[in-house]
Amino acid sequence: MELMVLAGIAATSFIVALSGALMPGPLLTLTVGEAARRGFWAGPLIIVGHSLLELAMVALLLLGLGAFLNRPLILGTVGVLGAAMLGWMGVMLLKASRHSHLEFDPQAKAGLHPVWSGILMSAANPYWLIWWLTIGLGYVMFSSKYGVVGVALFFFGHILADLAWYSLVAGAVAQGRRFLTDHLYRGFLVGCGLFLFAFGGYFGIQGIKFFLNS
């Protein structure tokens, strides 16, 4: 019976995480851009950074951080600051769209390493923290009833979904880079920049609502 529960933890964790990964977001924007410039391995490396941050979050939740952070004032601050960060990223993408060229260099040194990019982009996404303080916290608390194995299976299923999807996206972008003109690439940057503005605006509004309810 316990083996079935443990298998269920891993399976449902994978499905829930995949459902979230399939939704467009800042991490997808980053993965597509980096895969076009650096190639396939940018995708898995971004998820390595993402997973390191999430591993730290799991540890903090187990130590009781979730109960402390899950307050309207804190969630409101996260929403507003995250919205500002996403808006700034949107401005940078729009500026880059004026002159950027689509490049592919597996040894590219410009910009942050994909692992660091994965950490920072995840941390700047308000949805990420809110997800972990709600759905993630519930999963961690439930899986912790089955000890280290339960938590490990939850985390493995969660990260495996992200790794599978973003590796697929990175592979598709890297293989298709020859068919993307600079014009199309700049159009993509404009679209991503506008998306980050809209995404940030949404969480800014949610942050204000949390403040009003605090």
Helix axes 182-213, 26-38, angle to 10 degrees: 160
Give the mean model confidence (pLDDT) for residues 3-21.
82
Q: What is the pLDDT of residue 198?
A: 81
Which DSSP symbol is given to 107? T
DSSP 72-94: HHHHHHHHHHHHHHHHHHHHHHH
Per-residue pLDDT of 58-112, as tens digits, reads 999 888 876 776 677 877 777 787 778 778 777 877 887 787 665 555 455 556 7
d(CA 51, CA 115) in angstroms, rounded, equals 10
At 32, is the secondary structure helix, strand, or coil?
A: helix
179 or 148, which is more confident?
148
d(CA 209, CA 203) in angstroms, rounded, equals 10
**Res. 140: pLDDT tops 60:** yes
Mean per-residue pLDDT over the chain, rounded: 80
Q: What is the pLDDT of residue 59?
A: 92
Per-residue pLDDT of 165-212, as tens digits, reads 899 888 888 887 655 566 776 776 787 678 777 877 877 887 788 788
Q: What is the pLDDT of residue 13?
A: 86
What percent of the chain clears pLDDT 70, i.e. is strictly above it?
84
Task: Please choose, from the candidates 83, 78, 86, the residue with its C-alpha nearest in 3D space to the C-alpha of residue 26.
Answer: 86
Q: Which residues are within 8 A (CB) of 17 and not within 5 positions of it... i.e. 6 or more apart?
A: 157, 158, 159, 160, 161, 162
Q: Which residues are within 8 A (CB) of 160 and not within 5 positions of it... i.e. 6 or more apart?
A: 14, 17
Q: What is the pLDDT of residue 1?
A: 65
Per-residue CA distances from 12 to 143, 148, 157 (Å)? 11, 17, 8
Confidence of residue 54 (pLDDT cuts 50, 70, 90): very high
